[in-house]
Amino acid sequence: MSNGILIIAESHEGALRPASLELVTAGLAAKAAVGGSLTALLPGSNVAGPATELAGLGVDTVKVAEDPKLSAFTTDAWAAAVEAAVKALDPRVVIFAGTTSGRDLAPRLAARFGAPSAANVIAIGGSSDTIVATRPVLGGRVQTDVSLGGSLAFLSAGPGAFEKAVSTGVTAPVEALAVDLSGVSERVRVTGLAAADSGGSSSLASAEVVVAGGRGLKEPANFALVEELAGKLGGAVAASRAVVDAGWRSHHEQIGQTGKTVSPKLYIAVGISGAVQHNVGMQGSEAIVAINRDPDAPIFKIASFGIVGDLFEIVPELNRQLS
Amino acid sequence: MAYSIVVLVKQVPDLNAVRVDKASGKPLLGDQLVLGAADAIAVEAALQLKEAHGGEVTVVSAGPPSVKDALQRALAMGADRALLAPIDQANALDTLALSRVLAGVLSGLTFDILITGQNSDDYESGQVPAQVAELLGLPQVSWVTKLVAVDGGLAIERDTEDGKQQVIAATPVVIMAADGLNEPRYPSLKGIMAAKKKPLETVEVAAVSATTDITWSDPAAPQKPPAGIIVQDKPAAEAVAELVAWLRTKNLA
C-alpha cells in the first residue's frame, strides 16, 4: 500500500535551489489532497547544509542520498538514486522541482516504473485514488487537468507556479538513505560548468525584480533605460524574443517559450506587446508592470499595473522618481 | 566518423494561429499544421553533423497521414529518409503509450544519435524524449545548446539553472535540442523537389495501448485573474507617481 508524498529537492553550491522552496509548497499541496507524510529526498554530495535548511520548511522527513556521483547532475546517477528512494519509501506520488533536471527525471522514472506522469504542473489536488494535476498547454493560454490513478505517479512542478516555502520553526528529522550507484556507468560525463554570461540565466532565474525590454525601445542603445531602471530596483535585465532575434541582446536574457521562464516578485515589461510566446515565460510573476504606447497590447491583459504612454517619457521619469 | 542519426519529430498546430473562444474558453486551432519549432532545430542539428562528418539522417514521426507534411518538410531541409508510425492522434495517447510506440519503431533501427526537440509546441510536456531514452536503455542529454562531434563521442553544452554545463556523451545517446542550438534552414526549392523522390515509408506498429490510470480534460482557458490598474491619458509625471506609490504600497520599491 503506497502512501505519502516524495519530493526530490536540489541544491547547488551549498544552498537549496529556489525551485526546491517552491517544490516544498507543491509537496504540501499534494499532502493536503492525497494524505500521508511528506518526505523530501536531497540527492547530492556534501549537502548537510541544504538538508538542514530543507528540514525547517514544513516537510515531515528529510532523506539525504549522498554519493560523489550525485554532485553534478547526470540523468543516469540521479535517476538511480530516485529509483532506490521510490522502492524504499513506496510513495503515492513523486514530485520533482521545476528545473532542467526535474523535467529530465520525472518522465524517465515514470517510464521506468510504468507509471503515469504529468510535467510542468501548476496546481495539485484530487485524492489518494485520483491525483489531479493542472498544467498549461498551447503556450499557456489554456490548461488541462490530468487525472493520475493507480498506486504511483510522477509530477514535475511548473517554475514559479508555487510560492516559495519559508521556515516554519519546526525541524524535521534528517536521515541518510543508502543508495548503491556502483552500477551507474558514466555514459555522460560532466566536464565543466561555465557560469552564464554577465547577469546570465542563473541570476535571471533567481532575481526578485526583472526589467525586460522589447522592440518598443526602437534601438539597442535605448536598453540603457532598462538597465538604469533595473539598477534602481536591484533587478536583472531581460529581453523579448524580437530584440534577441534582432541581435540587440544575448539569448541568455530571453524570456518566453523559447527562452527563460521567470517568476520574480516584480516583472516590468518595457515596450513589450505581450505575445503569448513571451507571456508564457513570465506570467507567474507576482506583480507585472507594463509600459507600452498601444492600449490594445496584450500585455495589459495580464498586467497588475499598466501605463499606456510613451516609454521614452515614462521610463526616464520613473528612473527620476525612484532616485 | 560518419553518423547514423535519427530525428524524432512531431506535427503540431501553428501556435500563432491558435485562438481561445471567448464564450467557451476552448482553444480554436488553426488548420495549419507545422513541423514543431524545436523539432526543426533537431533536424538542423542532424544535418549539420551529417554535413561535417558524413552519414545518414532518418526522420521518424507518429500520427495520422497528415504527418507526412511535417516529414516532407524535414526531407526538404535535407534529411535522407522518413518513417511514419501510423496512429490516429498523437495527442490522444498519453506520453508513455506514445513513447512505447516510438521506441518500438526505433528498436528496429541502428543509430548513433537520436535527436529530438526539447518540447512540442502544443502539449509542451517534453516527456517523450526522456521516456523513449529510458525504454531504449539510452542516456539522455537535454537542453542542448551546443553539439560538436569529438573523439569518443559528442561534446555538448546544456543550458541549466547554474550556467552552461559541459558534458561528453558516448554514443548511442538521445539529444534534446533547445532553442539557441542553431537557426534551422528553410528548405530550398531544389530541396523541396528532391524531397519528393526521397523514401517516406509507413511502418507497422504493434497494437497501441494506452497506459492505464491517466486521463485528462479538454484544454480550456483558466479563470481570469482580476483585472489590473491601467493608467491612460495622463502626463508622464502623474502616471509615474501613481505607479511609484503603488510599488511602495506593495513593498516593491
Q: What span, in angstroms and rounded, lies between the C-alpha atoms of B47 and A82?
A: 36
Mean pLDDT along residues A289-301: 93
Q: Give percent of chain B above pLDDT 70.
A: 97
| Residue B65 CB neighbour total at 10 angstroms | 9
Q: Does the residue A168 lie in any domain?
A: yes
Cβ within 8 Å, pair A317-B169: no
Q: What span, in angstroms and rounded, lies between the C-alpha atoms of A89 and B40?
A: 41
Query: CATH code at A234?
Result: 3.40.50.1220
Cβ within 8 Å, pair B15-A138: yes
pLDDT on residue A202: 46
Q: Given CA atoms B158, A51, A162, B229 in this order, what sign does their dihedral have?
A: negative
Q: Does the residue A281 lie in any domain?
A: yes
Cβ within 8 Å, pair B232-A303: no
Whether residue A138 sits in one domain with residue A278: no
Please check the confidence at residue A186 and state whether its pLDDT lies above 80: yes
Residues of chain B positioned with their CB less than 8 A from the CB of A308: 230-233
pLDDT on residue A196: 57
Q: What span, in angstroms and rounded, lies between the C-alpha atoms of A57 and A168?
A: 6
* CA B163 from centre of chain: 22
Whether residue A294 sits in one domain with residue A226: yes
Q: Does the residue A307 lie in any domain?
A: yes
Interface confidence (ipTM) of the complex: 0.88
Q: Cell match 533547445: residue?
A: B178
Q: What span, in angstroms and rounded, lies between the C-alpha atoms of B205 and A197?
A: 46
- How does the average pLDDT of chain B come out, rounded? 91
Q: What span, in angstroms and rounded, lies between the C-alpha atoms of B87 and B84?
A: 9
Q: What span, in angstroms and rounded, lies between the C-alpha atoms of A64 and A67?
A: 10
Please check the confidence at residue B62 and state whether its pLDDT lies above 90: yes
**Is A148:A130 a contact under the CB 8 Å cutoff?**
yes
Q: Does the residue A195 lie in any domain?
A: no
Whether residue A211 sits in one domain with residue A170: no
Please check the confidence at residue B232 and state whether its pLDDT lies above 60: yes
Whether residue A218 sits in one domain with residue A83: no
Closest CA to B87 of B109, B65, B116, B103: B65
- Asked if A323 is an interface residue toward chain B (Cβ–Cβ < 8 A), one would say no
Closest residue to A147, CB basis, from B170, B216, B231: B216
Whether residue A225 sits in one domain with residue A284: yes
Q: Give percent of chain A above pLDDT 70.
A: 97
Domain with A262 in it:
201-321
Domain end call among A113, A143, A176: A176
pLDDT band for position B226 (50/70/90)?
low
pLDDT tens-digit readout, A213-229: 999 999 999 999 999 99
pLDDT tens-digit readout, A114-143: 999 999 999 999 999 999 999 988 877 789
In total, how many domains does chain A have? Answer: 2
Q: What span, in angstroms and rounded, lies between the C-alpha atoms of A122 and A148?
A: 15
pLDDT tens-digit readout, A142-174: 899 999 999 999 999 998 889 889 999 899 999
pLDDT band for position A199 (50/70/90)?
very low
Cβ within 8 Å, pair A117-B128: no
Query: CATH code at A115?
Result: 3.40.50.620
pLDDT tens-digit readout, A231-264: 999 999 999 999 998 999 988 899 988 788 888 8
Domain end call among A176, A192, A224: A176
Whether residue A207 sits in one domain with residue A122: no
Closest CA to A53 of A96, A15, A27: A15
| A64, amino acid identity | V
pLDDT band for position A201 (50/70/90)?
very low
Residues of chain B positioned with their CB less than 8 A from the CB of A108: 130-131, 133-134, 140
- Asked if A114 is an interface residue toward chain B (Cβ–Cβ < 8 A), one would say yes
Whether residue A141 sits in one domain with residue A59: yes
pLDDT on residue A47: 96
Please check the confidence at residue A318 and state whether its pLDDT lies above 90: yes
Whether residue A108 sits in one domain with residue A254: no
pLDDT tens-digit readout, A92-118: 999 999 999 999 999 999 999 999 999
For A226, the enclosing helix (H) or strand (E) is helix A223-233
**Cα within 13 Å of Cα(B235), Cβ side:** 2
The backbone region for A178, taken as left when phi is positive above 0, alpha when psi lies in -120 to 50, beta otherwise, is: beta
Whether residue A206 sits in one domain with residue A99: no
Q: Cell match 491619458: residue?
A: B233
**Is B80:B58 a contact under the CB 8 Å cutoff?**
yes
- Asked if B136 is an interface residue toward chain A (Cβ–Cβ < 8 A), one would say no
Domains delineated in chain B? 3-202 (3.40.50.620)
Cβ within 8 Å, pair A138-B236: no
Q: Cell match 534552414: residue?
A: B185
pLDDT tens-digit readout, B213-222: 899 988 888 7
Residue B137 CB contacts under 8 Å (≥ 6 apart), including other chains:
none
Please check the confidence at residue A200 and state whether its pLDDT lies above 50: no
pLDDT on residue A190: 92
**DSSP line for chain B:** --EEEEEE--EEE-GGG-EE-TTT--EE--S-EEE-HHHHHHHHHHHHHHHHH-EEEEEEEEESTTHHHHHHHHHHHT-SEEEEEE-S-GGGS-HHHHHHHHHHHHTTS--SEEEEESS-SSS----HHHHHHHHHT--EEEEEEEEEEETTEEEEEEEETTEEEEEEEPSSEEEEE-TTS--PPPPPHHHHHHHTTS-EEEPP-PPP-PPTTEEEPPPBPPPPPPP-EEE-SS-HHHHHHHHHHHHHHTT--
pLDDT on residue B165: 92
Q: What span, in angstroms and rounded, lies between the C-alpha atoms of A254 and A241?
A: 6
Residue A109 CB contacts under 8 Å (≥ 6 apart), including other chains:
A79, A82, A83, A86, A94, A115, A117, A154
- Asked if A289 is an interface residue toward chain B (Cβ–Cβ < 8 A), one would say yes
Whether residue A165 sits in one domain with residue A77: yes
- Asked if A74 is an interface residue toward chain B (Cβ–Cβ < 8 A), one would say yes
Q: Does the residue A219 lie in any domain?
A: yes
Query: Does residue A35 or residue A259 have the better pLDDT?
Result: A35
Residue A62 CB contacts under 8 Å (≥ 6 apart), including other chains:
A39, A40, A42, A51, A54, A55, A172, A173, A174, A175
Q: Does the residue A188 lie in any domain?
A: no
Cβ within 8 Å, pair B27-A142: yes
Please check the confidence at residue A2 and state whether its pLDDT lies above 70: no
Whether residue A267 sits in one domain with residue A220: yes
Whether residue A132 sits in one domain with residue A13: yes
Cβ within 8 Å, pair B212-A300: no
Q: What span, in angstroms and rounded, lies between the C-alpha atoms of A26 and A19?
A: 10
Q: Does the residue A181 lie in any domain?
A: no
Q: What span, in angstroms and rounded, lies between the C-alpha atoms of B116 and B40?
A: 9
pLDDT tens-digit readout, B29-40: 888 889 999 999
The backbone region for A33, taken as left when phi is positive above 0, alpha when psi lies in -120 to 50, beta otherwise, is: alpha
Residue B162 CB contacts under 8 Å (≥ 6 apart), including other chains:
A12, A193, A195, A202
- Asked if B39 is an interface residue toward chain A (Cβ–Cβ < 8 A), one would say no
Q: What span, in angstroms and rounded, lies between the C-alpha atoms of A254 and A252?
A: 6
Closest residue to B20, CB basis, from A75, A141, A252: A141
pLDDT tens-digit readout, B101-136: 999 999 999 999 999 999 888 888 889 999 999 999
**Is A274:A297 a contact under the CB 8 Å cutoff?**
yes
- Asked if A21 is an interface residue toward chain B (Cβ–Cβ < 8 A), one would say no
| Residue A294 CB neighbour total at 10 angstroms | 13
Q: Does the residue A33 lie in any domain?
A: yes
pLDDT on residue B243: 96
Q: What span, in angstroms and rounded, lies between the C-alpha atoms of B43 and B186?
A: 11
Cβ within 8 Å, pair B243-A318: yes
